A = this chain, B = another copy of it.
Amino acid sequence: MGVIRVGVLGFGGLGQAAAMVLHPKQEMQLVAVADRGGWAYRADGLPLHELLSAVKERGTVAALPEWGHTDSDGIAQVMTQAVDGFFLALPNLPNTFMARVAQQFIRQGWQGVLVDAIKRTSAVEQLLLLHPALQQTGITYLTGCGATPGLLTAAAVLASQSFAEVLTVKITFGVGIASWEQYRSTIREDIGHLPDYTLEQARAMSDAEVEQLLARTGGLLHLENMEHADDILLERLGICSRDQVTVGGVVDTRNPKKPLSTNVQVTGRTFEGRTATHTFTLGDETSMAANVCGPAFGYLKAGVALQRRGSYGLFTSAEVMPGFVR
């Protein structure tokens, strides 16, 4: 396998972290990026520091000297470049966005690997409908490849192996970020999960309104029974029904230290009739960026192997073992 040419769509906090994760890799190279302001492409790899500076100072990857372009249809533009796989680090809102982007790739007749770190069950349901079209086009699409769904969903699949019957899968995450302003889209989506808010309301909130909400909660967001696609990914594989899967957590928007250790607990009954719980716990020192972008590129590597074997269509993080990207 030669060096995998990678594109990143969306260049907010997640996209920028993805570029940093890729930077030291020998097996992958970031060659293409696109955001609302435009796109950039360089066959030999985009220069990381210049790219991050351009985004910091001018708000868009289009501002990258020499390789940036200000076309408004950045995704359509990078699609025509030589890229093996894209990480869709796009906002998870609206719910239909990822499926629309996938359809754009299908219409173009693009062939390669797409990976998302999508969160919501309903968003994954829309992607599942695209399986036949993706397969026919020659796209290997891996969905739900972040931390949860993603790393923790896959850990739940492993944990289920010891059991004749899985009783519950409980995902509890702790997220600590120094400032919510680095993750404006993600935090709005989290707010959309709170009991008193809809996704649309959260999305329409001004920065000042988000600040006011966080001031009332001391910067903490307590999330319970979230609509997370872990449920449908596990249900599809026959591990349990989606209502046996729960996702909740605590987000601290003012402290990079996690308020609790992110973990998944799988409780089941063994063939001898014993009830037990396996637990997979993430080290507190790992950031959301590390736990989302690392798996995303591990799945992208696995996706490239599938693609080269002629396996196309929609796959999930629960059915493919991610590779390790050196």
Contacts and interface: CB of A to CB of B under 8 A. Distances in A.
Given A151-B158, A157-B324, A322-B158, A278 B278 contact: no
Contacts of A284: 276
Interface string A148-163: 0001001101111111
A254 to B, nearest CB: 19
Given A24-B164, A322-B161, A276 B270 contact: no
Interface centre among A20, A161, A238, A286 (most CB of B within 10 A): A161
Given A239-B324, A318-B321, A271 B162 contact: no
Contacts of A290: 162-163, 270-272, 274
Contacts of A23: 271
A291 B238 contact: no
Contact of A161 (B157, B276, B289, B294): B294
A298 B24 contact: no
A216 interface: no
20 contacts: A23-B271, A157-B322, A158-B158, A160-B324, A161-B324, A162-B286, A164-B294, A238-B326, A270-B286, A271-B293, A272-B289, A274-B290, A275-B285, A276-B282, A276-B284, A276-B285, A309-B309, A319-B321, A320-B321, A321-B321
A323 B158 contact: no
B272 A161 contact: no
Given A272-B287, A279-B281, A319-B321, 19 more contacts: A17-B271, A20-B271, A21-B164, A151-B162, A158-B322, A161-B294, A162-B291, A163-B290, A239-B324, A271-B289, A271-B294, A272-B290, A274-B290, A276-B284, A276-B285, A276-B286, A278-B282, A279-B279, A318-B321
Contacts of A160: 324
A2 interface: no
Interface in A264-322: 267, 270-272, 274-287, 289-291, 293-295, 298, 309, 311, 318-322
A94 B44 CA distance: 52
A213 interface: no
The copy count of this chain in the complex is 2
A159 B274 CA distance: 27
A43 interface: no
Contacts of A282: 162, 276, 278
Contacts of A293: 271
Nearest to A281: B279
A287 B311 contact: no
Given A321-B319, A322-B157, A283 B287 contact: no
